């Protein structure tokens, strides 16, 4: 780390500085607080807005995310640029005012423009109100608001300051500038008023509600050393401890910054930022780069950089950014957050057609159109070959194949197959967890469940239909068949089984939700039910097992947290 601190202008990060910023000299916060104290003592002073005591106007007011009130306007020359004040807006408010001034061509010679900050509990309630700011030894001087008072976006106030900063007199200019760039201030794009060179960009933010986010980007800071990073989404602040930040070489920046090309090897960063992030706060992203001298600069992140894990970005994509995640202490929290996200996706299955069936064969419709045709043909064939077939329940997804699935469902009914039901799920991958609702809707007492891409062999159909006829709590696992060889191992048991609906519902109430819907047997084999395994009973088709590496680890973590390793 010493080498990083010594490197001139590097984007190196000082991990030894800890999370708390070092003291920053020449802050105006102590001055404001002192002046505010004086103002509170003078609240009872009589206040009369005599015309001869009118010293200027407030023209604009802006409130920044940190709650600071920035003002602009003009004031007669000779008046102090820092004072305790009483602000009157239908009632009195103590206030502390710190200003800087500059010449403005529209003003008379005896006046100059002002820009500054007011520390007060007052907030503008109406733009047409008469607002007075009394100041001076006996509070006889005052500034008055224009009507209507312009309440502007803090970005506009900052742009105004950026435009006049070099023309301001030096009394409080630098201090105000530092206040704009302080760690507490989340005004966007403050690099323009920072007074020192710094540029940054965030290329990708992978958001995990309930956990935080993973961000990657670059920072070029030729003058100041970087202390830490923070990211704001909505009203939530996310922080990256130093050990969760990685430096990455960005040779692609050399052409863009030829004067600072030696910073390229350390310019890139990947960071894991933690915070309790609700899903509805994933808005208005801002990056804060905090420097070792306490100053900071904020950068707006383009919203197109935002991706939500498990929604617009596959979970596995985190490993491309942050490959060490499965081995870090935060991994347990990450897994728990994903499991909670999975729970949030469970919104029940919408019934399209419901037919009562005390014995139900539930099939999740495959996403492949050809497999869809095959499933309905196999169901029709099975219904023809067996006396007293069960009711057939299909769970589909809202995709382009659903219309075709509905047509095939109708054809199945037209072929005389009774007791058919059709449901729509937002995410059929989690159909296993939606089963109680579906089974309740069709009033099933016993059921067969077959996940998407699972097809029963002739032996499997026979075993399943016999198991459906058999009452009791025996759990029948219909195991895979490979190349005609019976496979008796209960791998992926949760993808095809027969059980009692009430026993399953009772077990599911305490079972964990696995990301993606399945993790081996989903701990079904630890349900405590007596098992029967039928080999050579099913074939699983669909994409080859290129299971998301991270999902597998997450689910293993979830299983471990639940006290079971499961069969993965």
Partner 1 sequence: MLDEASDSMPPIIRDRIAILSHAHPSVSKGGAEIAAYTLYSGLRELGIDALFIAACQEADRPRLHLGSEREHAVFYDPRAYDHFYHLSAPEVARQVARILAEERVSVANFHHFLFFGVNSLREVARGGSVRTILTLHEFLAICHHHGQMVTNPARLLCERSSPRACANCFTAKTWRQFDMRRILLQQVFAAVHGFISPSRFLVERFSDWGLSEDRMEVIENGLRHTPADPRRQAARQAGAPWVFGFFGQINPFKGVDTLLRAAEELARLQRAGPPLQIRIHGNVIGVNPEFAERFRTLAETLPGLSYAGPYDNNSVSRLMAACDYVLVPSTWWENSPLVIQEAYAARRPVICSNIGGMAEKVKPGISGLHFRVGDPLDLARTLGLAADEALYAKLTSGLPRVSNARRMARQYLAAFRRFATSLPDPASLASSGRTAAVSRRKRDDGAESPASVTVDYEDQ
Binding positions for partner 1, rule: CB under 8 A = 368-371, 373-374, 376-377, 380-381, 384-385, 404, 407-408, 411-412, 414-415, 455, 457-459, 462, 484, 539-544
DSSP 89: S
CB of 373 to partner 1, least distance (A): 4
388: left (phi over 0), alpha (psi -120 to 50) or beta: left
Q: How far is the CB of 458 from partner 1 (least distance, A)?
A: 4
Contact 417/380 with Cβ under 8 angstroms?
yes
Decide whether 122 or 376 has the Cβ nearer to partner 1.
Answer: 376
Contact (CB, 8 A) for 395 and 437: no
Instruction: Tell me whether residue 111 or residue 408 sits nearer to partner 1 (CB atom).
Output: 408
Closest to partner 1 by CB, 130 vs 377, is 377
Query: Any residues with CB less than 8 A from the CB of 416 and at least 6 apart, and which?
Result: none
The span from the CA of 456 to the CA of 210, in Å, is 40
**What separation in angstroms does the CA of 366 have from each of 288, 289, 360, 402?**
46, 47, 18, 10
Instruction: Name which of 5 and 486 has its Cβ closer to partner 1.
Output: 486
Burial of 44 (0-12, 13-18, 19+ CB in 10 A): exposed
User: Minimum Å distance from CB 378 to partner 1?
Assistant: 8
Structure tokens at 360: 């139900």
Class of residue 271 by CB neighbours under 10 A (exposed 0-12, middle 13-18, buried 19+): buried
CA nearest neighbour of 520 among 477, 483, 486, 485: 477
By beta-carbon proximity to partner 1, the closer residue of 27 and 404 is 404
Smallest distance, partner 1 to C-beta of residue 163, A: 58
Our CA dihedral for 382, 388, 391, 392, rounded to 10 degrees, sits at: 0
To the nearest whole angstrom, how small is the minimum distance from the Cβ of residue 10 to partner 1?
Answer: 46
* Closer to partner 1 by Cβ: residue 40 or 368: 368
CB of 317 to partner 1, least distance (A): 22
With 0-12 / 13-18 / 19 or more C-beta atoms within 10 angstroms meaning exposed / middle / buried, residue 255 is: exposed
Q: Render 227-275 in DSSP notation, one character per residue.
A: EEEEEEETTEEEEE-GGGEEEE--GGGTTT-GGGGGGHHHHEEEEEEE-
As measured in angstroms, the least distance from the Cβ of 258 to partner 1 is 45
* Shortest Å, Cβ 419 to partner 1: 17
- DSSP 8-state class, residue 167: G
Q: What share of the chain is helix, strand, coil (3-state, %, to 5)?
A: 30, 30, 35
Nearer to partner 1, 57 or 373 (CB): 373
For 187-197, b/e burial (b = at least 16 CB within 10 A) is: bbebbebbbee
Residue with tokens 């020359």: 77
Q: Which is nearer to partner 1, 291 or 376 (CB)?
A: 376
Q: Pairing mode, if any, of strands 82-88 and 111-120? A: unpaired
- Closest to partner 1 by CB, 277 vs 417, is 417
- Min separation Cβ 374 and partner 1, Å: 5
Closest CB 524 distance from partner 1, rounded Å: 23
The single residue listed with the structure tokens 């994933």 is: 282
Q: Which C-beta is closer to partner 1: that of 162 or that of 404?
A: 404
Nearer to partner 1 among residue 369 and residue 470 (C-beta):
369
Compute the distance between CA of residue 555 and CA of residue 567 in angstroms, rounded to an integer: 11
Give the three-state DSSP class for 115.
strand
Residue 477 near residue 534 (C-beta atoms within 8 A)? yes
Shortest separation between residue 415's beta carbon and partner 1, angstroms = 5
The distance of closest approach from Cβ of residue 447 to partner 1 in the complex, given in angstroms and rounded to an integer, is 21
205 vs 327: CA distance, rounded Å: 21
Q: Closer to partner 1 at the Cβ: 278 or 488?
A: 488
**Minimal distance in Å, beta carbon 349 to partner 1?**
25
Choose between 457 and 495: whose C-beta lies nearer to partner 1: 457
Q: How far is the CB of 359 from partner 1 (least distance, A)?
A: 18
466 or 549, CB closer to partner 1? 466
For the chain, helix (H) and strand (E) counts, in that order, are 14, 26
């Amino acid at each position: 780390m010493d080498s990083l601190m010594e490197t001139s202008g590097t984007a190196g990060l000082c991990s030894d500085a800890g999370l708390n910023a070092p003291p920053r000299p020449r802050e105006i916060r102590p001055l404001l607080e002192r002046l505010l104290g004086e103002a509170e003592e003078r609240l009872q002073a009589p206040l009369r807005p005599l015309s001869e005591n009118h010293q200027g106007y407030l023209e604009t007011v802006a409130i920044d995310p940190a709650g600071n009130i920035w003002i602009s306007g003009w004031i007669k020359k000779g008046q102090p640029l820092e004072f305790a004040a009483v602000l009157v807006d239908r009632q009195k408010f103590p206030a502390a005012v710190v200003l800087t001034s500059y010449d403005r061509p529209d003003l008379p010679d005896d006046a100059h423009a002002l820009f500054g900050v007011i520390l007060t509990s007052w907030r503008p309630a109406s733009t047409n109100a008469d607002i007075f700011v009394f100041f001076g030894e006996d509070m006889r001087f005052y500034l008055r608001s224009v009507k209507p008072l312009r309440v502007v976006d803090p970005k506009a106030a900052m742009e105004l300051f950026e435009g006049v900063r070099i023309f301001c007199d030096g009394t409080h200019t630098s201090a105000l500038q530092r206040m704009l760039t302080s760690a507490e201030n989340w005004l966007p794009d403050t690099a323009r008023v920072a007074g020192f060179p710094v540029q940054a960009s965030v290329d990708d933010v992978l958001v995990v509600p309930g956990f935080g986010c993973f961000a990657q980007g670059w920072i070029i800071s030729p003058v100041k050393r970087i202390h830490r990073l923070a990211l704001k989404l909505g009203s939530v602040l996310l922080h990256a401890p130093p050990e969760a930040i990685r430096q990455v070489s960005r040779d692609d920046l050399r052409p863009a910054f030829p004067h600072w090309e030696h910073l390229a090897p350390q310019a890139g960063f990947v960071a894991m930022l933690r915070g309790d992030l609700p899903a509805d706060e994933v808005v208005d992203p801002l990056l804060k780069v905090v420097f070792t001298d306490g100053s900071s600069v904020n950068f707006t992140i383009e919203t197109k950089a935002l991706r939500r894990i498990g929604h617009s970005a596959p979970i596995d994509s985190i490993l491309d950014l942050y490959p060490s995640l499965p081995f870090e202490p935060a991994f347990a929290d990450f897994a728990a957050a994903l499991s909670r996200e999975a729970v949030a996706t469970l919104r029940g299955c919408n019934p399209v057609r419901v037919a009562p069936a005390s014995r139900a064969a539930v099939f999740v419709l495959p996403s492949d159109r050809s497999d869809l045709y095959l499933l309905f043909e196999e169901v029709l064939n099975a219904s023809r070959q067996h006396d007293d077939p069960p009711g057939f329940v299909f769970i589909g997804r809202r995709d382009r194949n659903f219309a075709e699935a509905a047509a095939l469902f109708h054809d199945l009914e037209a072929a005389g197959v009774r007791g058919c039901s059709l449901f729509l799920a937002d995410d059929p991958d989690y159909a296993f967890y939606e089963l109680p609702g579906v089974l309740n809707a069709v009033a099933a007492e016993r059921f067969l469940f077959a996940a998407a891409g699972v097809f029963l062999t002739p032996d499997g159909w026979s075993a399943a239909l016999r198991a459906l006829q058999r009452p009791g709590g025996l759990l029948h696992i219909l195991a895979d068949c490979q190349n005609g060889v019976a496979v008796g191992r209960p791998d992926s048991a949760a993808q095809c089984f027969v059980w009692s609906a009430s026993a399953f519902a009772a077990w599911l109430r305490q079972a964990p939700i696995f990301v993606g819907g399945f993790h081996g047997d989903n701990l079904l084999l630890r349900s405590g039910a007596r098992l029967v395994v039928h080999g050579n009973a099913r074939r699983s088709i669909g994409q080859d097992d290129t299971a998301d590496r991270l999902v597998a680890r997450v689910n293993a973590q979830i299983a471990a947290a639940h006290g079971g390793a499961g069969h993965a």
